[in-house]
Amino acid sequence: MILVVINVLIIVVVGAICFWAIDKYARAGRLANLLKLLVALICLGAILQRVLPLVGVSWF
């Protein structure tokens, strides 16, 4: 259980760093928004991949 919490925190921190980098370096507003959406979806998928087996839900 503690490993899942650590993994989720790592995913959140990496996602926050990506959001910061997108804000800092992306010049076009629409591109920045699309990149942020992509990062958010990838982070959400990674978190769900770690949490769903704990509640008994399987991908298969």
Q: Retrieve residue 46's tokens.
A: 């990674």
In Å, what is the CA distance from 12 to each residue of 9, 38, 42? 5, 14, 11
pTM for the full model? 0.85
Interaxial angle between packed helices 29-51 and 2-25, expressed in degrees from 0 to 180 and rounded to the nearest 10: 180
Asked if residue 60 has pLDDT above 70, the reply is no
Q: Report pLDDT digits (tens) over 27-52.
A: 999 999 999 999 999 999 999 999 99
CA dihedral sign, ordered 12, 17, 20, 22: negative
Asked if residue 59 has pLDDT above 80, the reply is no
